[in-house]
Amino acid sequence: MFRCQQKPGQFYEKDISGCAVAAIMDTSGKVFGGQAIIDSIETQHERSNGLGGGFAAYGIYPELADFYAFHIMFEDDQAAKDTEKYLYRDFVLERKEVIPHRHDAGIKKHPLLRRYFVLPRPIEEKTPDRVFENLSDDELVFRAVMHINKDVTGAYVFSCGKNMGVFKGVGYPEDIGRFYKLEEYQAYTWISHGRFPTNSAGWWGGAHPFSLLNWAVVHNGEISSYGKNKRYLENFDYQCTLFTDTEVIAYIFDLLVRRHGLSLEMAAKVVAAPFWDEIARMPQEQKELATLLRATYAGALLNGPFGVIIGFDGGMMGINDRIKLRPLVAAKKGDFVYMASEESAIRAISPQLDEVWSPKGGEPVLALLKNKTPAYASVR
Partner 1 sequence: MALNTQESEFQIIRDEDKCIACKVCVRQCANDAHVYDVDDERVHSQDVKCVNCHRCVSVCPTKALAIKKAPLEFRENTNWTSSAIKNIIKQADTGGVVLVGMGFDQSKAIYWDKILLNAAQVTNPSIDPLREPMELKTLIGKKPDRVKFERVDGKLHAKTKLSPQLELATPIMFSAMSYGSISLNAQKSLARAACEAGTYWNTGEGGLHKDLREYAHRAIVQVASGRFGVNAEYLNSAAAVEIKIGQGAKPGIGGHLPGEKVSREISRTRMIPEGTDAISPAPHHDIYSIEDLKQLIYGIKEATRYKKPVFVKIAAVHNVAPIASGIVRAGADAVVLDGLLGGTGAAPAAIRNNVGIPIELAVSAVDTRLREEGIRNQASIIAAGGFRSSGDITKAIALGADAVYIGTSALISLGCHVCQKCYTGKCNWGIATQDPYLTKRLNPDIGNRRAANLIRGWSMEIKEMLGGMGINAIDSLRGNREHLRGINMYEHELEILGIKAAGMAW
Q: Give contact residues for partner 1 (rule: CB under 8 A).
A: 12-14, 16, 18, 198, 221-222, 224-228, 230-232, 234-235, 243, 260-263, 273, 275-277, 288-289, 291-299, 301-305, 322-323, 325, 378-379
Query: What's the closest the beta carbon of residue 159 comes to partner 1, in angstroms?
Result: 25
DSSP state of 15: B
Residue whose CB is less far from partner 1, 99 or 325: 325
Residue whose CB is less far from partner 1, 239 or 263: 263
Residue whose CB is less far from partner 1, 100 or 227: 227
Please, which residues have CB within 8 angstroms of residue 289's CB and are 6 or more apart in sequence?
Answer: none
Residue whose CB is less far from partner 1, 3 or 269: 269
Query: What's the closest the beta carbon of residue 224 comes to partner 1, in angstroms?
Result: 4
Rounded to an integer, what distance in angstroms lies between the CA atom of residue 277 and that of residue 282?
9
Query: What's the closest the beta carbon of residue 52 comes to partner 1, in angstroms?
Result: 15
Residue whose CB is less far from partner 1, 46 or 234: 234
Query: What's the closest the beta carbon of residue 269 comes to partner 1, in angstroms?
Result: 11
Crossing angle of helices 77-90/137-151, nearest 10°?
A: 160
Please, which residues have CB within 8 angstroms of residue 305's CB and are 6 or more apart in sequence?
Answer: 221, 222, 321, 325, 326
**Catalytic residue status for 19:** yes
Going through the chain in order, the beta strands assigned E by DSSP cover 20-26, 32-33, 53-58, 68-74, 91-98, 112-120, 155-159, 164-169, 186-187, 189-194, 210-212, 215-221, 306-312, 315-320, 329-333, 336-340, 355-357, 365-368
CA end-to-end span of the chain, whole Å?
A: 47
List the catalytic residue out of 4, 19, 160, 240.
19
Name which of 377, 251, 271, 263 is nearest 322 in CA terms.
271
Query: What's the closest the beta carbon of residue 139 comes to partner 1, in angstroms?
Result: 16
* Residues that are catalytic: 19
